[in-house]
Amino acid sequence: MTAQLVPTPCWVRIALVPHRRRHRAVFAAAGIYNIAWGLFTVAFPQWLFAFAGMPRANHPQAFATLGMVVGLYGVLYLSVAAYPEHGWLCAAVGLTGKILGPIGLFQLIASGTWPPATIIICLTNDIIWWIPFISYLRDARPQPPPPGVSIRTTSPAPSSTCTSRAAAPPDSQRHPATTSSPPLHLAHHQSAATAATPDAP
């Protein structure tokens, strides 16, 4: 059976990420923080409005939805912590959100829609993570493969079932014929007939 080729994303590194332990710790912390922040916001969607002295939101479900999105980003950050060589794209998307978020908040503050105290949401969710994320993206940037090596496709190893079936001998080899020795009852009759026949002169 012909092995099928499995495509490999272009952002997957073929070598270990430099400063791997530090990057794993950063994204593990980011993942735990995002999940905790998301759960807290879903449970208490009015907390930011109370903290900033704003009127309570008429539809707190919208802010709770933000908490769910932030929490799901935490799952992606944990995947980067587990496999730093595969996480460049997830980290790039996360950093993009951490840049766009403060831009939107600063517009709300500049227009007077939200008070300056609401900047706390971007300080802890976004701004403090800029430098660690940028450092990881620099270290984990995709690299071209060495000459003569392709990382676009990989060939899966043959399954153990196919291998064991291919190595099994045919039935004729597993059960060799036993024609050289007659059955026991025939051998008894042959020996009796030989004994009854007189010897030739």
Contact of 94 with 133, CB cutoff 8 Å: yes
pLDDT mean values, one per 10 residues, the chain (201 residues): 78 92 98 98 96 94 96 98 96 97 96 95 97 97 69 47 44 47 47 44 38
Q: Is the dihedral of CA 63, 67, 69, 73 positive or negative?
A: positive
What is the pLDDT, as a whole number, of residue 145? 63
- pTM greater than the 0.75 cutoff: no
Which residues on neighbouring strands pair with residue 6, listed in sequence order? 154
Q: How far apart are CA 21 and CA 116, in angstroms?
A: 37
pLDDT of residue 193: 45
What pLDDT shows up at residue 4? 77
pLDDT at residue number 179:
46
Q: Residue 166: its pLDDT value, please?
A: 43
